[in-house]
């Protein structure tokens, strides 16, 4: 049985200075190959560990996984272009499940721009 969530965090903490292989083994991320040898599933272990720590890797094709086109990591920084435009890319709109035609009210503050979905009152924010 592979541990997840708080049980996984506790199990890893119990192991102290154990090797990475021993951590994966102790957490239950082990399977048996056809030849009977042991296979340590590091990827599943690390994904479960990240989830347990509150980091969601997401699923699917650019929907909420923090990746842009070609698997680049999103920088969460936008730059004003030479023509004065400020672009929010598709990867970000996909993370929020925004669709073409969704409308936003632009709220300007001191050195900040907030986009609020149209029809949302300040109390809803």
Q: Mean of the per-residue pLDDT values for the chain?
A: 82
Tell me the pLDDT tens digit for each residue of 102-112. Answer: 999 999 999 89
In the DSSP assignment, the letter for residue 65 is S
- Strand locations in the chain (E): 30-32, 38-40, 104-109, 112-117
Quote the pLDDT of residue 103: 92
Tell me the pLDDT tens digit for each residue of 7-61. Answer: 988 888 898 888 999 999 999 999 988 898 899 998 888 888 888 887 766 654 4
Quote the pLDDT of residue 33: 86
CATH number for the domain that contains residue 99: 2.10.260
The whole-model pTM stands at: 0.46
Quote the pLDDT of residue 108: 93
Q: Indicate whether 124 belongs to any domain.
A: no
Q: Indicate whether 104 belongs to any domain.
A: yes
Q: Indicate whether 17 belongs to any domain.
A: yes
Q: Distances in Å between the alpha carbon of 20 and those of 3, 65, 67, 68, 99?
A: 15, 26, 27, 30, 43
Report how many domains make up the chain. Answer: 2
pLDDT tier for residue 90 given thresholds of 50, 70 and 90: confident
Is the predicted pLDDT of residue 83 greater than 90, yes or no?
Answer: yes
Domain around 30? 5-52
Quote the pLDDT of residue 64: 47
């Amino acid at each position: 049985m592979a541990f997840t969530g708080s049980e996984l965090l506790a199990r890893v903490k119990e192991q102290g200075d154990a090797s990475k292989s021993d951590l994966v083994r102790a957490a239950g991320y082990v399977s048996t190959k056809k030849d009977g040898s042991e296979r340590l599933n590091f990827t599943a272990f690390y994904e479960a560990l990240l989830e347990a720590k509150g980091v969601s890797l997401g699923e699917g094709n650019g929907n909420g996984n923090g990746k842009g086109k070609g698997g680049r990591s999103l920088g969460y920084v936008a730059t004003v272009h030479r023509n004065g435009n400020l672009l929010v890319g598709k990867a970000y709109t996909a993370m929020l499940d925004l669709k073409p035609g969704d409308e936003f009210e632009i709220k300007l503050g001191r050195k900040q721009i907030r986009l609020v979905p149209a029809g949302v009152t300040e109390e809803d924010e």
